[in-house]
Amino acid sequence: MEITLQVNGVPRAVDVDPRMSLLDLLRERLGLIGAKKGCDHGQCGACTVLIDGRRANSCLALAVAVDGSQVTTVEGLADGEDLHPLQAAFIEHDAFQCGYCTPGQLCSALGMLGEPGPSVVTEDITADPGLTPEEIRERMSGNLCRCGAYVNIVSAIAEVAP
Amino acid sequence: MKPFDYARAASTTEAVRAFGPGTMYLGGGTNLVDLMRLGVAEPERLVDVSRLPLDRIEAVGDRVRVGATVRNTDLAFDPLIRARYPMLARAVLSGASGQVRNVATVAGNLLQRTRCTYFQDVTRPCNKRRPGSGCPAIEGDHAGLAVLGTSGACVATHPSDMAVALAALEAEVHVTGPAGDRIIPMPGLHRLPGDEPERDTVLEPGDLITAVELPPPPPGASLYRKVRERASFAFALVSIAAVLDVRPDGTVGACRIALGGLAHVPWRAERAEQALIGGPATGEAFLEAAEAELEPARPLPRNAYKVPLARNLIVSTLEELAP
């Protein structure tokens, strides 16, 4: 099936099998290997990208079902040689070891910063809370880090959070 | 994954008309795509209903109508839901991850399948996946599975948090289908396994959920609490949605309790409610009500812990709600 996507601002038209995930499309057809295939079941978050500005597991999205969407991958975060503030903060805070989960962590953090609502740890569910370390930990729970860099990931995100 | 045809429906009428043998509706896909990858679901045709114009949350008189394709995040972040049904917002936020909630729909949340490991493993027997093949969970790994309303054929649990809150709120599920439109009051959407564990719900082939309608919230304070094996992104071992209204004289005026993680359905705790209404709002009464509710529990060796866990959760939640 013929589908069209805007990937990191670039229009891409591709012919895909209905079985193909967005993750496989990005990695195998478009050569964007930033998003990683960790578990392929939506449990680890390594494949996280933004679909129409919202973070999502690209392994659980059928490419045909996101036809017409705008997709942002980790390759789309930097402005040329200028790193995105989140990328710079991850380096500054040593927020990774092996780096495998990092593209997903970055995209997830970027999406999370655009989600103003409460989380399950928010005391007053009717308020929009500030991003305390506890809030960041809860909101980033869809991204696993096998190296256990969580403490530095939280401090990197906290530096960029408003 | 087995090959399938894909079509996107432009209207509910078109979706229902496109439904035939081997067809499944596709919402956000966060459970279905995974089940297809595992070989558990093998549709020949997917009718994508995720872009149907059912994505609005609107007040209708003193009720709130939530469209079937509203994403879980949008439901939990909605100011009206947070103000009027805080228990529902918290239940939704306690499920899955930010990424999954951004994509998963309200209808898909209700219709998600059990996470029983045997159901998800096509190399093992499972009465829910392959009727008549047996239930290895009863002798095997059932630590996370059901203790109430089980059958000799199935001890699976329904995994949703949202559905537990909807059961306590007596939400109505609006359905359209080949036989027309109907309304199913929660928790009536889901059914106990009996000897047909392959049927999770009372829906018929081609039935499509179009909305969930919330009646005015019952009087009283409400809470959703969830006990799980890690602090986040895990299914409930036991969860509770509770509303408690205590009169000035210290007696219980109104009470709604629903339990998650214990049964094939979001479990409405009617025995406990009946025991409480009109009686004193004391710890002793809460304990008696919890024990009455759990009396019919038939735990297996490795999930027997759920009975005292549920009892303690009911008591501590009601104590927190009581003034």
Q: What is the pLDDT of residue A128?
A: 84
Most A CBs within 10 Å, among B73, B82, B99, to test the A interface: B99
pLDDT, tens digit (0-9, with 9 covering 90-100), for B151-200: 999 999 999 999 999 999 999 999 999 999 999 999 999 999 999 999 99
Any long-range contacts for B283-286 (C-beta under 8 Å, 24+ apart)? B283/B315, B283/B319, B285/B252, B286/B314, B286/B315, B286/B318, B286/B319, B286/B322
Shortest alpha-carbon distance between residue B282 and chain A (Å): 25
Q: Which of B8, B16, B108 is nearest to B52 (CA)?
A: B8
Task: Count how many pairs of residues, chain A against chain B, have C-beta atoms within 8 Å.
Answer: 109
Q: What is the mean pLDDT of residues B298-311?
A: 98
Q: Tell me, what's the ipTM? A: 0.98
On whether any CB of chain B is under 8 Å from the CB of A4, the answer is no
Taking 90 as the threshold, does the pLDDT of residue B204 lie above it? yes
8 Å CB contact of B76 and A62: no
Scanning A30-89 for CB atoms below 8 A from B yields 40-42, 45, 48, 51, 54-57, 60-62, 64-65
Contacts of B295 by beta carbon, 8 Å cutoff, 6+ apart: B271
On whether any CB of chain B is under 8 Å from the CB of A111, the answer is yes
Strands of the sheet with B238-246, listed across from one edge: B221-227, B238-246, B252-260, B267-268
8 Å CB contact of B4 and A55: no
Q: B-chain residues within 8 Å CB-CB of A42?
A: 30, 34, 97, 99-100
Shortest alpha-carbon distance between residue B100 and chain A (Å): 6
- Look up residue A87 and give its two tokens: 């990328």
What is the average pLDDT value for chain B, to the nearest integer?
Answer: 98
Backbone angle region of A133, left / alpha / beta, with phi > 0 → left and psi within -120 to 50 → alpha:
alpha
Structure pTM?
A: 0.98
Taking 90 as the threshold, does the pLDDT of residue B255 lie above it? yes
On whether any CB of chain B is under 8 Å from the CB of A103, the answer is no
- Look up residue A134 and give its two tokens: 């506890």
Contacts of B130 by beta carbon, 8 Å cutoff, 6+ apart: none
Class of residue B288 by CB neighbours under 10 A (exposed 0-12, middle 13-18, buried 19+) = middle
The residue whose two tokens read 């995930």 is A21
* pLDDT band of A105, cuts 50, 70, 90: very high
pLDDT, tens digit (0-9, with 9 covering 90-100), for A1-54: 999 999 999 999 999 999 999 999 999 999 999 999 999 999 999 999 999 999
Q: How far is CA B208 from CA A64, B26, B52, B64, B130, in A?
A: 21, 11, 11, 19, 24
Q: What is the mean pLDDT of residues B259-285?
A: 98
Q: What is the pLDDT of residue A51?
A: 98
Residue in chain A nearest B101 by alpha carbon: A56
Q: What is the pLDDT of residue A162?
A: 86
Residue in chain A nearest B30 by alpha carbon: A60
Taking 90 as the threshold, does the pLDDT of residue A75 lie above it? yes
On whether any CB of chain A is under 8 Å from the CB of B10, the answer is no
Cα B25 to the center of its chain, rounded Å: 18
Shortest alpha-carbon distance between residue B93 and chain A (Å): 5
Q: What is the pLDDT of residue A116?
A: 87
